[in-house]
Amino acid sequence: MTDETYLRKTFDLAFQAFESGSRPFAALIVFDGQIICETLDERKWKMDPTAHPEVEAIRTFYKRFDLDQINRAALYTNVEPCPMCAGAIFYSGIGRLVYSVSRKSFDSWVAQCRMRPRQRCVGAREIIRPNGLTRVRGPLLEKEGLALIKHHFFPLRFEQEKTGTEN
C-alpha cells in the first residue's frame, strides 16, 4: 500500500470520529506493512485533553511491541500533528510521520472561519526534525484532506459556538 492509501484510510477514520460526535481527526500506525492500530480523537469520550489520535496510536503501539521496534513504524494522520503530539512523536522515535493537511493550512482556514485556535501552532517538522530519527512527509493529498475538515469540522464548531459547548 502507498502513503496515499494509508492517508485516505485516516480520512475514513476521521469521518467515523465526526459521526461519533468527536472532532474529525484520526491516525493509524503501520508496522511491517500492516496497520496495527487505528485511533480517533477521543478527548471527549475519555475526558482527557491528551487523547489526541497520534498520542493514542503511540500508546497502543507501546502496549503491543517492544520500545526498540517503533523506529520501523510509520504514523499516518489526516492533519499535521499539534505541538503536543509532535513532542510525543519526537520522544517515541517513530520511524516516519506522514500527514495530509499542514498545520499552516489548517490554522489559516480556522482563522478565515473566525474560529480562533487555542494557540498559534508551530509545525510538527519544527519539533520533530532535530531528533534525526523520524522522517517526515507531508503535506500529501492536502486538498482532499482539507475538504473533509471543512465539510465536517466547521458545522461542528459552528454548533458549539451557537450552543456554548465544546468537545
Residues carrying an active site annotation: 54
Task: Kindly give, in sequence order, each residue whose CB lies less than 8 Å from that of residue 4, ignoring residues fewer than 6 positions away.
Answer: 140, 141
Q: Report how far residue 152's alpha carbon sits from residue 19's, in angstroms, rounded to the nearest whole number.
A: 9
Q: Report how far residue 92's alpha carbon sits from residue 108's, in angstroms, rounded to the nearest whole number.
A: 29
62: how many CB neighbours lie within 10 A of its CB? 13
Closest CA to 145 of 14, 55, 30: 14
Task: Kindly give, in sequence order, each residue whose CB lies less than 8 Å from that of residue 148, ignoring residues fewer than 6 positions away.
Answer: 11, 14, 15, 24, 78
How many Cα atoms are found within 13 Å in the side-chain-facing hemisphere of 104?
Answer: 5
